[in-house]
A and B are shown apart, each in its own frame.
Chain A
Amino acid sequence: MAKYQRGDRVRIRVGVPPTHFRTPEYVQGKRGRVETLCGVFPNPESLAYGGDGLPAQPLYTIEFSQTELWANYKGPTTDTLLIDIYEHWLENI
């Protein structure tokens, strides 16, 4: 079962494991909003080493305000960024 739903406010976890993961550092620690629950997918952190990817992870599209990501963002405050993040990288605010 997916833990979050559309509209929920979340923060991206901070961490740089030495192994493979798909959460870029520029979104880590940043606060965003769940835009879409994309479905449930095998975990790439396991697939990358030949594992079965289980337990599968809910995957969400998270939307951030650009000004949340970059302190000196040059464009309008309405500009945003979307990125797909697996549930175990999300935390409640």
Chain B
Amino acid sequence: MDLRDLWAESLAGMLARPVRSALTTLGTVLGITTLVVTLGIAATAGNQIVGRFDELLATSVTVDVPPSSRGPLVSWDAPGELRRLRGVVSATALAQNEESSNLVVTANNLLDPTRVFGQTLAVVAAGPNLPETTHGRLLAGRFYDAGHVARHDRVVVLGEQAAAMLGITRLDHAPAVFINDRAYTVIGIIGDLRRERVLASAVLVPPTLGPDFGLKDVTRVLVATQLGAAELIARQAPLALSPSNVGELQVIAPAGPRRARDGAQDDVNGMFLILGLVSLVVGAVGIANVTLVTVMERVAEIGLRRALGAGRRHIAGQFLLESSLIGLTGGVIGASLGMAAVVGVAAVRQWTPVLDIRLALAAPVAGALVGLLAGLYPALRAARMEPVDALR
């Protein structure tokens, strides 16, 4: 028997009752759709979470420096040294303590009864490359540089919120703020401090002005790393910052990106995978059932085919191919629906859909396999039939 004939006969058998065949595929469609959606959404969502981590958290390492009676554990120059480590993009030292966190800051020394006179803000001493390390954006003016630091210039940069609270929006008249009755020129306003949100309501001063506010020693070092380097840098940073006090420094490093992805997938997957598999099994039972009914209905046809010279394997082959085609159809429809759903969900959430090409190819194959397995028993029944009985 020509394989094309087998194909044509099976296709004709399947299309002879299109409605029944369509209904029979439903179970497989549901199962494959569920599986594709589950795996697709999990991959998309997993990728999404990792993507968000990548941007900021996965590249952020923070080293907390506890106060020490033996003098500073980390010097202001140490972050510069840190940049010699491979994988460090930028590092900045900060100093902040309780005393400096509640200082009254005023925008001018006029008494205006209609306005709140002074704001209680935090003053933080920070190295000049803070914007780089925190991915901050200067909304106005500029950040102080090494020159300001070296000259002990009395300049400050305001966090976005701090500037709003003080009513400072423009810098073209070189406004000043007054802290502890001393004036400081505001040279910049910094915003978008997503990594260190608290700094948005802080007054940033160069390290050399720190002693004015009791900020002598570094209390924290922020490190921005290259993607994937965070874990390594987290291990190396304490040694580079303060070789003799490694044990006292506390490192806060992001969770590994791999764990984030696995966690996200595990949450979504388990349940729906089981649901999908159950639907597939139900689909298989449906195909088996309908194929068996079809075999019983087509006993006369089987007898005729045997009379026309069809061997048992031809009969078995035809019914197996029919059930596999039904499964394959279900798989193709299910895979298409599933992928459309994944793309739809991703579009609504403004995610990037992640579709594994292997999944797209494997889903119809899985459907066909389901059909093949489901068809085994009915096909065997059909093949075992004696032509004498079938023609009776």
| A-B complex is real | no
